[in-house]
Structure 1
């Protein structure tokens, strides 16, 4: 088993409860952790899981989402990666999604949600 960790991917998203958030959009950041069941036996991309595939899946989900909640987007990313795993190579998927610009009257860096699924159950 091994893990792939993709840290601090940055996207412009059009999610949010308020109409201005959906219209103008805002910055979000995302981390992905997946656990892969097998260990590569040779130095070949065909013998492993390509993290480039994960980036493409995440980018498509972010670009197409008009969800109100970051929880909804995070869960849709988890589900999309699980759907990609038709060979049963993954044992865990975890997404941390941060919304940077917030319509909150206060001082904070971001709000983060974490969604995941243990695929061994």
Structure 2
């Protein structure tokens, strides 16, 4: 089994429940790990999971606002799984860097993991 990682991808987006989030947006950080079973020795991009394709899926979902980070993580995971039948596990974490909570200093986030 091989695992590829895309770490600390930075996005500015408008996800969230509060009306303010739809207007102002905030920074997000996405990390994803994808485990797969190679069918042969990896000597070309066709033998692995192309991280550019994975990034494009994440980027596409980050520009379309949803209310819940849990939903966002599930949607991204489902689409990544469609990229390649060899994928066995996806682990995705999404952090909202500055949530609009009064007197809150820190980040909030979700982690979603799915085995196939």
Same fold, judged at TM 0.5 (above): yes
Gaps of 5+ in 1: none
**Counterpart residue number, 2:74:** 75
Secondary structure at the counterpart of residue 79 of structure 2: helix
CA distance in 2, matches of 1:110, 1:83: 30
Q: CA separation in 2, counterparts of 1:91 and 1:36?
A: 5
Distance apart, 1:107 and its partner CA: 3.9
1:43-82 equivalence runs, <5 A: 43-64=43-64, 66-82=65-81
Judge which range, 33-42 or 44-53, deviates more. Answer: 33-42
Could you say if the C-alpha distance between residues 17 and 42 of structure 1 is closer, same or farther in structure 2, counting changes exceeding 3 Å?
Answer: closer
How many residue pairs end up in the alignment?
A: 116
Q: Which residue of 2 aligns with 1:17?
A: 17
RMSD: 1.4
TM-score, length-normalised on structure 1?
0.88
* Counterpart-to-counterpart distance in 1, 2:69 and 2:77: 12
Relative to the length of structure 2, the TM-score reads 0.91
Q: CA deviation at 1:39?
A: 6.2
Q: Which runs of 5+ in 2 are unaligned?
A: none
Other-structure match for 1:32: 32
Structure 1 residue runs of 4+, over 3 Å off? none
